[in-house]
Amino acid sequence: MTEAPFDQHRAVVLPEWIDYNGHMNVAYYLLAFDHATDAFLDWLGLDSDHRAAAGGTTFAGDIHLTYQREVKEGDPLRITTQLLGYDEKRIRFFCRMYHAGEGFLAATMESLSLYVDLNRRRVSILPDDIQKRLAEVYAAHKKLALPPEAGRVVAKPPLAGMPPPA
């Protein structure tokens, strides 16, 4: 079955994730998104069985986080994932972190994962069965609106003293 978006990851903000400001520390947003990414990749078929059989996995190539609203200790989280695109070596996806009780958007993450042959430690071509699964998921997810945070860059327009992007 193909969910659009993928909506199976839940978490709770743990006490050790709280910083001196009384809210979830920046590093733990990435950790929570990483756990959601693992669930999404497993759902695509890029799970531990695949790694053992094919000798391939994904590595993070690029990640961009945005922070929308703070979450605090004990808050329930719901993280959704939308496949934005893929090719034979890359998977681009977008995650949204919601407060699972109140429903507000807390943060987003856009990510580009690279498929890697673990024996050579080089980017490689995704196996045909995974590309087929990606095509199925993308057929459902491409109907969703592109998230407004997708493709953003830091400080656009440039901050004072910064040269404009090339």
- Helix (H), strand (E) at residue 140: helix 128-141
**φ and ψ at residue 129, rounded to 5 degrees:** -65, -35
Query: Residues 52-88: pLDDT tens digits?
Result: 999 999 999 999 999 999 999 999 999 999 999 999 9
Residue 161 pLDDT level (bands cut at 50, 70, 90): confident
What's the rounded Cα separation, in Å, for the pair 146 and 84? 8
CB atoms within 10 A of CB 24: 25
Question: What is the topology classification, in CATH, of domain 6-141?
Answer: Thiol Ester Dehydrase; Chain A (3.10.129)
H or E stretch including 48? helix 48-54
In angstroms, the CA 71 to CA 81 distance is: 19
pTM of the model: 0.92
- Residue 144: what pLDDT? 96
Determine the pLDDT at residue 155. 65
